[in-house]
Amino acid sequence: MKFEKRIPLSTPTMHGEEMTFIQEAFDKNWIAPLGFNCDGFEAEMATYLDGTASKMHCLALSSGTAALHLAMKLAGVKVGDPVLCSDMTFAATVNPVVYEGGVPVFIDSECETWNMDPAALELAFAKYPQAKVVVLAHLYGVPAEMDEICTVCARHGAVLVEDAAEALAATYKGQPCGTFGTYNVVSFNGNKIITSSGGGMLITSDKASRDKALFWATQAREPAPWYQHEEIGYNYRMSNVVAGIGRGQLLHLDEHRDTKEAIYRRYEQGLSGLPIKMNPYIAESKPNFWLSCMLIDEGCSVDPMTVMQALADANVEARPIWKPMHMQPVFADNDFITAADKPVNESVFARGLCLPSDIKMTAEEQAGVIEIIKSCF
């Protein structure tokens, strides 16, 4: 079979309320960065995360990468500092470490969530006792084992930077991802669970840190009647128009999460009986199921690229699992720490595949995708 209309991996889903906020920005001629939509988006996100908007302080920025960069500055990363980072993630999680001159040390995952292994993190601190910053990413919307991670960080006096770019609306023991770290980041890139077409947000419980990040994000301009600069700054603020899109999308975040879970469950049921497992999560967590992923059993003669090509031939988009950072040429000289006999991330990368998880995909279309996958086995 071949679909006439392409089945994408994950694309924006608009609802209409976005245009109300955008139109208000046009009506008021407030198109530039900052503005009422940015303020509203920040306040509404804080309310979503803590219920009262009294604990978390949010800063809307031009990208999740910009938010991570400012988080590295706030965490005090300096030239030559080892920074303990999730290994299986997108490069944007770790590139900002290098922006500040830090040296990423990559930490292997555990099998239960595909996220940073607390045991490997402990080994990393034994090797790098001077490390004071940990950068954790929640892979594909599945929360990491946060009790253990936070305990290890606290024991070594390390600042936790939580990259929840893929995990907005996911929770661990009822607490939202993006609220565990000293500094936290979410993304509104076009393929995320909600989008503002681009953009991200820095989240912290420390208002002074949020305000310092705002200062840096607006070119570090001092409060003088002329343009005065005493520090290096950046042009990282979100535009008022983009923030309006985000406000409209936020109204549908839980709806998007529920639809993503329904997609995961259909794959889980439809692929049962095959030498395949879905991306795992632990009982204490409630993922947002941003992307549904499959893992082919070890020893199976079918490889992920065969399945991906069969899907591509049917006009269906699938993608490999994130290639671990320690396998990337740009980080070939960086250290990699594992607590396993065989690195978990290398195995998951070799056997895993991200499946189409677009909210607009119908159950009938997904059934067709499942049949194509089954035909490969």
User: Of 155, 249, 234, 154, whose CA–CA distance to 202 is shortest?
Assistant: 234
pLDDT score recorded for residue 262: 98
| pLDDT, tens digit (0-9, with 9 covering 90-100), for 332-363 | 999 999 999 999 999 999 999 999 999 999 99
pLDDT score recorded for residue 33: 84
| Orientation angle between helical segments 118-127 and 146-155, nearest 10 degrees | 20
Percent residues over pLDDT 70 in the chain: 99
| pLDDT, tens digit (0-9, with 9 covering 90-100), for 110-147 | 999 999 999 999 999 999 999 999 999 999 999 999 99
Cα atoms in the 13 Å half-sphere on the side-chain side of 263: 30
Average pLDDT (167-174) is 98
pLDDT score recorded for residue 185: 98
Residues in the chain: 377
Average pLDDT (151-166) is 98
Count of other CB atoms within 10 angstroms of residue 319? 15
Average pLDDT (308-315) is 98
pLDDT score recorded for residue 241: 96
pLDDT score recorded for residue 32: 83
Residue 307 pLDDT > 90: yes
Taking all residues of the chain, what is their mean pLDDT, rounded to a whole number? 97
pLDDT score recorded for residue 291: 98
pLDDT score recorded for residue 34: 86
User: Of 326, 327, 309, whose CA–CA distance to 318 is shortest?
Assistant: 309
DSSP 52-64: SSSS-EEEEESBH
Residue 238 pLDDT > 90: yes
> Alpha-carbon distance 357 to 10, whole Å?
6
| pLDDT, tens digit (0-9, with 9 covering 90-100), for 50-90 | 886 679 999 999 999 999 999 999 999 999 999 999 999 99
Instruction: Give the list of residues 6+ apart from residue 173 with CB closer than 8 angstroms, or none.
Output: 146, 147, 284, 285
| pLDDT, tens digit (0-9, with 9 covering 90-100), for 194-227 | 999 999 999 999 999 999 999 999 999 999 999 9
pLDDT score recorded for residue 53: 64
* pTM score: 0.96
Domains annotated on the chain, with CATH:
17-250 (3.40.640.10), 253-375 (3.90.1150.10)
- The amino acid that residue 161 corresponds to is V
CA dist 272 to 346, 358, 371, Å? 24, 21, 12
> Alpha-carbon distance 83 to 100, whole Å?
11
> Alpha-carbon distance 3 to 375, whole Å?
16
pLDDT score recorded for residue 87: 98
